[in-house]
Amino acid sequence: MNLEENNFGVTGQSPSAQEAAFVAGSEFTEAGRKKRSGWRIFWIVFTVLSVLANIFLFLALIGFGAMFVAGQRGIFTEEVLIEGPRTAKIAVVGIEGVIDDRCFEDFSRRLKSAQKDERVKGVIVKINSPGGMVSASDRIYNQIVQYQQQTQKPAVALMEGMAASGGYYTSVACREIIAEPTTITGSIGVIMGHFVLEKLFEEKLGIKPVIIKAGEKKDWPSSFEEPTEEQKEYIQERLIRPAYERFVEVVAEGRESLTIDDVRRLADGSIYGADRALEEKMIDGIGYLDSAVERVLSLAGIEKAQVIEYRRPFSFWSVFGLSGQSLLSIDKASLYELSMPELLYLWRAY
């Protein structure tokens, strides 16, 4: 008889040994299955957490990107210009470029930052501007006046390369005015201009505008026709003269050393260098930042202070000297404003 066909079966093992091996194999398979199931659960949990973490990081990146592109509105960093005790500060608040609504809003936020800080004992209004819009210049002037009245803290103007027309208008709100030796200032006056497109439209392009109005003066002045002498006198009476008189009154009020007649003599639109401006009592001194700091310290009655300047946080647009709003906000209203005559406290030679 063949040994493989005896009682031990074809495998050469007894039935009890086969059962034991089967049970052991089953237990091993079950343990492996449980082990694989545990790893599967681990990887599922790990994957879910990874997805959630990536979603969170993505949203955080979007928020950071938005701040990077636009900059945080109304939030400024403080750059120390002159070291001093942190318990007393002098804040430098700048007016840069053509004065318009955006310039006013930016200046207003910086001045409010200074007003909220109890450690700020006075401000230096640093001006480098040829002027700009009548209303924006007047609002900045009023903000400086209100700051001094509400806080009883001094403001001193520091004119840099240019502080003409609206730039000078804003400076006279301050207690004193310091100009750099190369400053161009003055240009006390008002200007308004617009394009007359009548011949371009009708003769070159064959376009004839149709104006329907109720009221003879409704469209004075118009870009679609040459202004008549009556229209020019009307604009002088209703716009130019009131804005001019306002400028003269503001300068006379802000500069105690000048009478109203003195201001009228100076207010022919002429520009002045620093030496001539000092001679005419339009400013109080010639110097640089340190001179303005000395005047604020004296007026505030303190000996030392840390001098800081409010700066915008870094943003993507700041690399190009632009703001996101200036690129994206070209709408019907903006185009309308560009085509309309505008009353300006602006040195036009700029």
**Low-confidence spans in the chain with pLDDT less than 50:** 1-11, 13, 21-23, 66-73, 316-336, 338
Asked about 113 being catalytic, the answer comes back as no
Which one of 137, 165, 222, 323 is the catalytic residue? 165
What are φ and ψ of residue 156, in 5° steps? -120, 130
| Residue-level pLDDT at 19 | 54
Q: What is the pTM of this model?
A: 0.72
Task: Assess contact for 129 and 97: CB atoms under 8 A.
Answer: yes
How many other C-beta atoms can be found within 10 angstroms of the C-beta atom of residue 263? 22
Which one of 199, 218, 232, 304 is the catalytic residue? 218
What are the C-alpha distances in Å from 77 to residues 56, 109, 148, 307? 28, 12, 23, 13
Q: Which residues contact 120 (CB under 8 A, 6 or more apart)?
A: 89, 90, 91, 114, 153
| Residue-level pLDDT at 71 | 43
Tens-place pLDDT, residues 259-318: 999 999 999 999 999 999 999 999 999 999 999 999 999 999 999 999 999 887 655 444
| Residue-level pLDDT at 95 | 96
Tens-place pLDDT, residues 113-153: 999 999 999 999 999 999 999 999 999 999 999 999 999 99
Asked about 213 being catalytic, the answer comes back as no
| Residue-level pLDDT at 343 | 81
| Residue-level pLDDT at 273 | 97
For the chain, give the mean pLDDT: 80
Q: Any alpha helices (H) in 133-220, and if so which ranges? A: 134-151, 166-171, 198-199
